[in-house]
Amino acid sequence: MSSQVMTAGNGSTTTSNDYILEVTDLKKHFPISAGIVFQRQVGAVRAVDGVSFHVVRGETLGLVGESGCGKSTTGRTILQLYRPTEGSVKFEGQELSTMAGNDLRQMRRRMQIIFQDPFASLNPRMTVGSIVSEPLQIHKIYSNKKERQQYVEQLMEKVGLNPYFINRYPHEFSGGQRQRIGIARALALEPSFIVADEPISALDVSIQAQVVNLMEELQDELNLTYLFIAHDLSMVRHICDRVAVMYLGKIVELGPVDEVYENPQHPYTQALLSAVPVPDPTVEENRQRIIITGDLPNPASPPVGCNFNTRCPVSVDLCYEEPDPPLIEVQPDHFVSCHRVT
Amino acid sequence: MGVILEVRDLVVRFYTQEGTVYAVNGVSYDLDEGETLGIVGESGSGKSVSSLAVMGLIPSPPGKVEAGSVIFEGRDLLQLKPDQMRLIRGKEIAMIFQDPMTSLNPVLTIGTQITESLKLHEGMSTSQSRKRAADLLDMVGIPDAYRRLDDYPHQFSGGMRQRVMIAMGLSCNPKLLIADEPTTALDVTIQAQIIELVKALKDEFNMAMIWITHDLGVVAGIADRIQVMYGGRIMESGSSHEVFGDSRHPYTVGLLGSLPRLDSSGEEKLTQIEGSPPDMHSEPDGCPFAPRCDIREHLNLEKCWVERPPLETVPNASGDQSHVMSCWADISEGVAENV
């Protein structure tokens, strides 16, 4: 691993040694096929279309954007649940995109995922004990059944579940408790990096704080690194250290969370933040909203020029001609991809 | 301003194979003409069911409105016959649902769906109703409206479908619009578009509105008055400034404390409400929030388990009685700070 100071996406003090994850120009295109007998590819959905960022060990990086912007696909492509079309994913110094088979399986011990929907992501026919211990069996940790059960009980306790429920089935639990089961399963192999794919958006408001607090406690205790994928921008500000804003498969703005929220530079980030309601009528009465018109363009045929030009309130001619504005560092660590920002 | 809707002691239950679900357990409120009431609650709090009961849309069986009255312009809607109710529903009171994908009929063009109520309630001819439908679509911001009448719901995006739903709801100039989580399925930028649209249309049509949501941020921006529900009961109700600025019920306080805010860096830990939402298969003797209430625990109040607290007026400086809450503890006296 080189220790040279990276040019993209870091402060002056961190070196690449501190990076747990480095994603470079990652692309994931899903083919669109036509024809019944002779299938041929007629196009591609550019779900992720060239994203580069890094994650520093111990931090929480937020990945935000509207539905269809490619944030979940990015998370899954990093974990090689989808194989990337192009680009590189380096995890703890090792290239994952070319890795396969047993090597990749070994890497999976170090990186795990928590899914959005705690109703769909747990097998209804397995008990909590077998769900949480399955990763241990696959990786042949604890050959002794008794030790394994003890470890699972410890894990359950750690995530706030009563170990007494080890033989119960997922349907006997509420949404928040199920999400705790999902977290226990992700923690079973003692990973260093967890992709949390909208872990709280299916939960009730009063339960969301419970799960977020748990995730923060576990992070401190186990020195975890999170990639926190979410569309709830208020929660992202609370839990994340840095945030990347995605639009149509690309990162449009990236930086420390307070800096991005207080000083957003990209017109999309500005509109997105201004659209989030604040639970305070006095603030709401005096807020100026930037309402962007229209919908997200089809990612199978993105607009010519900058991706955001169909909805951008401040676009100029250049935005329709020149594609892919580069990520420019406007403040230390704060990157923006916009032709209007120089 | 006159009262347009008076709901009194509404009780709704569902008799299912797994047992009785006590969905709404005594809900009363008034709605003034032109007023926007925000009903806030988590899933299972009874917020949707209480509004469906107003519309006479509780599926029966298994549901049943067991008690109460819903007085709309002097008539008790719960006593009306189905064909009388049909003349009110869609004409006087309209409703927008959460999921525009499932609440539009996929095999009918949106023109057919909008003109249906115009023909039924206003007695318009096909050409008249199509012209009116195109005007409505134009008003809710759908470009090229007349041509799009012949499109099917799947040809519209989520935000556009919700605009179609709003156009349908407004087609007969209703006096009351009930919006049941109309923006929950939408992205925030589209949500902002829809909220701006509904606010503008509400003023134009001079409607009263009930906006049901679990998102406290949304109601803070749109509602004049807010009603917080939990376990099928009203916990607290008042003007939005009273409920957000001077919350008195432990549940409201806890809910607001558990929300991170966009406009603060949020270094401090979120205060969490312990436990899970109540099981609606039984009706508690006391306060439904008692098992999760840290105020009750702190003050060690036995009363909360055995007796249902009534909705009582919170005294305020202006002397009006709009701010009410249902709790045995009085947390205005610094109790909340000590917990």
pLDDT at A5 > cutoff 80: no
β-bridge mates for residue B182, sequence order: none
Has residue A3 got a pLDDT over 50?
no
Per-residue pLDDT reduced to its tens digit, A303-314: 888 999 999 988
| Among the listed residues B153, B154, B262, B194, the one whose alpha carbon sits nearest the alpha carbon of residue A292 | B194
What pLDDT, on a 0 to 100 scale, did the predictor assign at position B14? 92
Whether the CB-CB separation of A268 and A260 falls below 8 Å is answered with no
- Shortest distance between the Cα of A101 and any Cα of chain B, in A, equals 38
CB distance from A131 to chain B under 8 Å?
Answer: no
Q: Is the pLDDT of residue A226 over 90?
A: yes
**What predicted TM-score, i.e. pTM, was given to this entire model?**
0.87
Instruction: Please give the Cα distance from A122 to A139 (Å, whole number).
Output: 19
The span from the CA of B84 to the CA of A272, in Å, is 45
pLDDT at B248: 86
pLDDT score of B74: 87
Task: Please report residues of B whose CB lies closer than 8 A to that of A177.
Answer: 276
Residues 32-61 on B with a CB inside 8 Å of A are 42-43
pLDDT (tens digit, 9 = 90+) per residue, B237-285? 999 998 998 888 999 998 888 888 888 776 778 888 888 888 888 888 8
Distance from CA of residue B233 to its chain's centroid? 13
Nearest C-alpha neighbor of A289 from the set B158, B98, B194: B194
- The partner residue sitting opposite B261, judged by closest CB among A176, A234, A274, is A234
pLDDT in tens, A161-210: 999 999 999 998 888 899 999 999 999 999 999 999 999 888 888 889 98
Average pLDDT, chain A: 88
Pick the residue of A180, A232, A284 with the most B CBs within 10 A to test the interface with B by mutation: A284
Cα B168–Cα B207–Cα B235 angle in degrees, nearest 5:
105
Residue A13 pLDDT more than 50?
Answer: no
Record: contact A238-B260, CB cut-off 8 A: yes
Residue B332, pLDDT score: 61
Q: What is the ipTM of this complex?
A: 0.83
**Residue A8: predicted pLDDT:** 43
pLDDT tens track for B4-33: 999 999 999 999 888 889 999 989 999 999
B256 at interface of A, judged by CB pairs closer than 8 A: yes
Distance, CA of A216 to CA of A206 (rounded, Å) = 16
**Positions in chain B whose pLDDT score sits under 70:** 1, 266, 317-319, 331-339
- In B, residues 208-247, which contact A (CB 8 Å cutoff)? 214-218, 220-221, 240-241, 244-245
